[in-house]
Structure 1
Amino acid sequence: MTRLLLIGPPGAGKGTQAERLALAFDVPAISTGDIFRYNVTTNTPLGLEVKSFMNAGAYVPDTLTNAIVADRLKEADAATGFLLDGYPRTTDQVAELDRLLGAEGTQLDVVVLITADTDEVVARLLKRAAEQGRADDTAEVIRHRLDVYTEQTAPLIDVYSARGLVVTIDGLGAVEVVTDRILVALAERGLRASTTTL
C-alpha cells in the first residue's frame, strides 16, 4: 500500500514525475485536472457541475472537488494505493482528505515536495508556451502563477511538515535523475518501488 501526494510549482516536472512514480509503485496517478476533464467530456452529473463553474471562469469549489476525489478514491484501482497530484490545494481540502482516509483507517505515507529555481521554471514554461503557441503565457503571467502557487501551497506544506511527512526533492536535472532522487528518498522512508523499469 503506497499513498503519495506530489506537490510542486508549475513547470517543475510534477506531471511527468507523477506518471513515472505511478508506474514504479503500480498505483494510479490521480490528477484533479484530469478528473475534471474526464467528467466534463463524459457529461457525468459531477462533470456538468464542474463545467458550469469553468464556463463562468470561476474556481471549482472545495465541496465539488472533494466529492470528485472521494468518488475517484473509491474505484478499484485505488484500493492498493494512489498518487495524488493537484489535490489537496487548500487546508480545507487537507481536512477532507484526512477524513476520507481516516474513514478507511489509512493516511498519506509521504508528501513529495518538488522544488525548482524560479528563473529556471519561468524559462521552462516560456519555452513550453512558445512550442504550444500560447502567447498569453508571458513571463509576468507565469511569475504570477508561481506566486499564487507559493501562497496557496505554503500552508499545506506547513501542515504536512508538522506531521513529518514531507520529503523535499530538487526538481532540476534530467527526468530520470529526478525520479531516482525521489525513489531514493521514498526508500529511506520504507517505500520501495515495485518496479525500477521506467
Structure 2
Amino acid sequence: MLKRFKKAATILLAAMVLMVGLRGTTVKAAGDTVVIHVKNNAGWDSMNVYNWGDAGETAGVWPGTAMKEEGDGWYTHTLPAEADLNLVFSTANGTPQSNNVDGVSKSIGECWIVVGGEGEENDLGVKGAQAVLYEKPEEGWPVAAAGEAAEAVKDETPATGDVSSIMPVAMAGLGALGVMVATFRKKKDN
C-alpha cells in the first residue's frame, strides 16, 4: 500500500513540475494574434509598441516593447488578441510618441500603421506624431508569412494584473495529495 502511495505521489509531483515548466509558453492559433507592421516615417532611431485595454498592458508597461525591424523603415510585433487594441508608438525611452490608435479590432489579424507627420494630442495630452491605421497593405508593404500568426509564441512579458500560475498548480497538487493521504489512512485503518 505504501508503495502505491509513493508511486502516486511521485507521478503527481512530476506532473506539477511539468506544468510549472510549461508556464509562460503558449501556442497561439491564427485568430489569437494580431501582427502589427509600423512604418517609421517620423525618423525615430527605434520603435516601441504599447497597448492597453481590458486585457491589461499586453505589450508590457510603458513605453512597451521594442519592435523587430523588417527593413525599409518597417517594424513588426505580434500581440495576443485578448481584447481590442489601443496602441501608442514611441522610441525606446518613450519620447517622442505617436497619437493613439484606439479600438483596433482583435479580429483584424494583421494591420499596417504609418507613423509620421504632426498628429493630435493623445490621451495623456502629449502632442505626438500622427499614426494612421491601414487594414490592407499597399503594394510593397510587408505581409506576415503564411502561418506566422499560428506559430508558437513564447511571451513572458507580464501584463498588468498578471499573477504566477504556480499557485493554482500547487493548490491542486496539495488537494490531490490530501485525498491520497486520506484514502491511504482509510485503507490502513480497515
TM-score range, shorter chain: under 0.3
TM-score by length of 2: 0.24
| Structure with greater helix share of residues | 1
TM-score by length of 1: 0.23
| Structure with greater strand share of residues | 2
Bigger CA radius of gyration: 2
Higher RCO structure, 1 or 2 (CA under 8 Å, sep 6+)? 1
